[in-house]
Amino acid sequence: MATINPNTGKRQLYGRRIGRPLKTNQAERLDEGLARYGLTLEALEQTANLPGLFSGPVKEVWLEIGFGGGEHLAYQAAHNPDVGMIGAEFFANGVSSACGHLLRADLHNARLLHGDGRELLDRLPKASLSRAFILHPDPWPKKRHHERRIVNTEVLDILFAVLRPGAELRLATDHSSYKVWMLQKLLDHPGFDWTATCKQDWSERPADWPQTRYEAKALREGREPMVLSFRRRP
């Protein structure tokens, strides 16, 4: 993740870019996948037409910030062929995994940025997204690191700008303090409305929201995830 360095005015990145060294097949999958699905910040800066980034026609564009292993992103791309899915992930192992999902399904409506999602957000055209996802982001549990959490006022301001009026923002976390933090940041923001009307709306995923590896791990370890859906106000 990243925060602004007060001395340089530039983003300071935090977290590992790679975990265990990639095995040969993982590295090959990463190279093959990025050759087909890779997206650069330079390409974003040069386009005002996000649907034009995809090899086939798409009616709208969705974004997933921090897609982890890519199973959710690939599911959404496969089940919504008229939607272009853009994903950003800093972790090389996750990008390699996502490339595998996309390649095996031979999907044509996905693009991946191997880098920080906030850098991508800064380059998106205004009102260009119909949906955005932030699912199980790093909770940065220590209080002195809370400013590194991606769900913050700055990011929500940018999301408000790049989401279309009425667009959906989906979020999830299983971390107890991040649940309170995440919900409070969204409720305090003037640009979003919470869509929940009953407990099931934040305790159960809707049918078109597949389980991720992070949710499965949380459930195995006895942590209940919270799922949130907000609408971007006009």
Rounded to an integer, what is the distance from CA 171 to the centroid of its chain?
A: 9
Taking each helix axis from N to C end, the angle separating 153-162 and 176-188, rounded to the nearest 10 degrees, works out to 50
Q: Which residues contact 148 (CB under 8 A, 6 or more apart)?
A: 1, 2, 3, 14, 138, 140
Q: What is the 3-state secondary structure (H, E, C) of the chain?
A: CEEECCCCCCEEECCCCCCCCCCHHHHHHHHHHHHHHECCHHHHHCCCCHHHHCCCCCCEEEEEECCCCCHHHHHHHHHCCCEEEEEEECCHHHHHHHHHHHHHHCCCCEEEEECCHHHHHCCCCCCCEEEEEEECCCCCCCHHHHHHCCCCHHHHHHHHHHEEEEEEEEEEECCHHHHHHHHHHHHHCCCEEECCCCCHHHHCCCCCCCCCHHHHHHHHCCCCCEEEEEEECC
Query: Could you give the residue numbers annotated as active site?
Result: 138
